[in-house]
Amino acid sequence: MRSIKDDLFNYLREFGHYEKRSMFGGTGIFIKGAMYAILTDQSMFLRGGETLDTKLASFDCSKFKHIKRSTTAVVNYYDVTRLYIDYRAQCDELVQESIQVSTKEKEFKSSERSKRLRDLPNMRLTLERMVKKAGVPDVSSFISLGAAEVYRKVRSSHGKDLDLKLLWMFAGAIDGCHWTLLKDDHKERLLRDIE
């Protein structure tokens, strides 16, 4: 005898190849690395977002509650099991919209536009503030200017006695590695560039 969970797995195959992982005490369903559904033994929850939240709420879909030890987390996934059983065409549309919203958000989060300076290797909030105060507003400017120019700008706005480690940290942030992994010839080139 098949369970409703097996039926839900088969149903979601209609919307494309997916991966699944254990998430929030259920099974997370992913397309292109974006999670758009959670399956439990008895229910299917779709991810909200954009105008989908309003639609799902208008169908009286309750939010997923993950109970872990003494805390309860309410996440932006809505129970669409009743719609799956009674209103399949409506459920189909909601699944497709959830996939679109989820993959679009995942693509944005993975893009350079969404990155903050502090998200780069070696960087943290204080360094991000320092760099912004020196006139480098975002990641793309930081990368296009290069470590030496960013260091010069920071030095001119924060004083001459900056630690050289900061230069290495900026270079590592651009190269995507920890500053201690920079090769000596790269460091020498950077030193020449800041003179």
Look at residue 114 in the predicted model and tell me its pLDDT.
66
CA angle 177, 182, 186 (to 5 degrees): 130
Look at residue 113 in the predicted model and tell me its pLDDT.
66
Q: What 3-state class would DSSP assign to 17? A: coil
Please list the residue range(s) of the chain that carry CATH number 1.10.150.20.
117-194
The Cβ of residue 160 has, within 10 Å, a number of other Cβ atoms equal to: 6
Tell me the per-residue pLDDT of 107-154, one tens digit each, with 9 for 90 and over.
877 776 668 899 889 999 999 999 999 999 998 899 989 999 999 999
Instruction: Quote the mean pLDDT of the chain.
Output: 91
Q: How far, in Å, CA of 180 to CA of 172, rounded?
A: 8
CATH architecture of 117-194: Orthogonal Bundle (1.10)
43 pLDDT more than 70: yes
Assigned CATH class of 4-110:
alpha beta
Please list the residue range(s) of the chain that carry CATH number 3.30.1460.30.
4-110
pTM for the whole thing?
0.61
Q: What is the CA radius of gyration of the chain?
A: 24
Least confident range from 53-57, 83-87, 104-108, 130-134: namely 104-108
Q: How far, in Å, CA of 144 to CA of 162, rounded?
A: 22
Residues 50-62 have a mean pLDDT of 93
